[in-house]
Chain A
Amino acid sequence: MMKEEITILNENGLHALPASRFVKLADTFKSDITISKDGIEVSGKSIMGILTLACEKGSKVILTCIGKDEKEAFKALRKILEGQD
């Protein structure tokens, strides 16, 4: 299991575009992927959940990946949350 707290660095927070990139990428992995913020956990593979969390810039979320490809998944998804790719 890969689990770590990540700070959202996207300029406008996690809005529709980065969120859709996130779920699209998450969908390509076999692992179970979740994001949680303020104790509310949502699936990393569904866009509405992530958007409902309303993650603003600077907010902290916990990314969890569980499964065979958890390492690759975590590495790739972290980049989107941190706005690096």
Chain B
Amino acid sequence: MKYITAETLYKEKKDDFEFEIIAGEEYLTSRKITTYDFFRPGLALAGYTGYFLSDRIMIIGKTETSYLKTLTRTIKDRRIATVMRLGTPCVIVAKKLPIDKKFLAESTRRKIPILRTPLSTTPFIHRLSTYLDYKLAPTEHIQGTLVDVYGVGLLFIGKPGTGKSECALDLIERGHRFVADDLIKIVRRGDILIGGGAEKSDRLRHHIEIRGIGIVDIFRIFGVKSVRLRKRIEVVIELVFWKEAKGNYERIGLEKNKKELLGVPLPYTMIPLTPGKNISVIAEVIAMNYLLELRGIDAAKEYDVELKRILTEQEIPSVHYDENIE
């Protein structure tokens, strides 16, 4: 299962969430966070532990803190001990609230780190969930080229030498926006796939290798309007050498082919390559066709409906093209 350690959370979000370590710094590295769900221990502190989710981060806010104040020392100690015994990867105290000393003792005993943030509980939880959702989202790296064409994220795949990069270059020249080439990092958020570059430094982004030229800096050549950092992937286009395509490509468009990436089915088109074929124009048409389909307009289907109508109806409505009126 995908996870991040409590240490990663602390290090990456230290400045953002203004985290301070209250206790258990040495346990940060061994504590794994596997879900973006969190857990408020209110009911558990009140005595109900019938349904306890130990894999979740425990958030202590004003409610828990003020409730604990109403308890006697003995009960308080027992309840806190129970909550900490049942476990959590990490306790986070919000709103810079003071924490009961029993938590500190149990932190050492149960090896659970305790962090504190000055942020208010609800906004903090919201931002924490968003961050964890992103960090824990399923990811995959694939070979391809990602371009935003008329706002549609087109992912080009295909063997080396099929001209994915050259196609991207042509699309950029036509005013479309380049996302990444060669190695694409895909992150799944819900049923949406977000693609972007996998570069380890921002200055290495937005480069394309064009065979014969070498590495080309797209940002510098075409400017800020021609690039974007990430884009939702909406259509997959596979470039295939003519010989290998073996007539396996769609001729009418009634059949909607799908390609699955990270478990999400995406519209898929295979384009067989022939000399002189302008792939970028075809890519633009694929993007526009997709936009039309989103609006319920399907050219192939409508053509077929009309064809069936004139094939079955007795009287064909008269449309005269006889007279030359042009």
Contacts and interface: CB of A to CB of B under 8 A. Distances in A.
A48 B143 contact: no
A28 interface: no
B242 to A, nearest CB: 18
Given A52-B198, A52-B199, A54-B200, A46 B143 contact: yes
B183 A48 contact: yes
A40 B183 CA distance: 9
Contact of B198 (A20, A40, A43): A40
Given A40-B141, A41-B141, A52-B204, A46 B182 contact: yes
Contacts, number: 42
Contact of B207 (A20, A40, A45, A48): A48
Interface in B141-172: 141, 143, 160-161
Contacts of A40: 141, 183, 198
A45 B182 contact: no
A30 B295 CA distance: 45
B181 A48 contact: yes
Contacts of A45: 160-161
Interface residues of A, number: 16
A62 to B, nearest CB: 14
In this complex, the interface size class of chain B, counting residues with CB under 8 Å from chain A, is: 10 to 19
Contacts of B207: 48
Interface in B200-227: 200, 204, 207-209, 214-215
Interface string A46-66: 111101111000000000000
Nearest to B185: A40
A17 to B, nearest CB: 12
A48 B199 CA distance: 10
Interface of A: 16, 20, 39-43, 45-49, 51-54
Interface of B: 141, 143, 160-161, 181-183, 197-200, 204, 207-209, 214-215
